[in-house]
A = this chain, B = another copy of it.
Amino acid sequence: MSRFRIAVHITPRRGILDPQGKTVADALHTLGFSTVRDVHVGRHVIVEVDAGTADSATALTREMCEKLLANPVTEDYEIASVEGA
């Protein structure tokens, strides 16, 4: 068993309203960042888990995403990185 550190990105699904992203984009424009085209705000989740291999740690995290971490109705998730910790 070793310890892995897995980063997951959870983002609002495309096409679904993202009021948070829109409001931040508007605010950035007001602050003078006029070249900002779009903003999306999601979650960055870091899971530290013990597993035999990086692959099994990833599979486990994927399952966590399906079951709990991401809202299957409104969000997409992606495993961004897997590191030994």
How many copies of this kind of chain does the complex include?
2
In the complex with contacts A27-B68, A28-B68, A67-B31, A46-B37 CB distance below 8 A? no
Q: How far is the CA of A80 from the CA of B80 in the complex (A)?
A: 10
Choose one: B7, B43, B46, B64; the contact of A28 (CB below 8 Å): B64
Choose one: B7, B9, B36, B50; the contact of A48 (CB below 8 Å): B36
Interchain residue pairs with CB less than 8 A apart (7): A11-B46, A31-B64, A31-B68, A33-B60, A35-B49, A39-B47, A42-B45
Binding site for B on A (CB under 8 A): 1, 3, 7, 9-11, 24, 27-28, 31, 33, 35-51, 60, 63-64, 67-69, 80
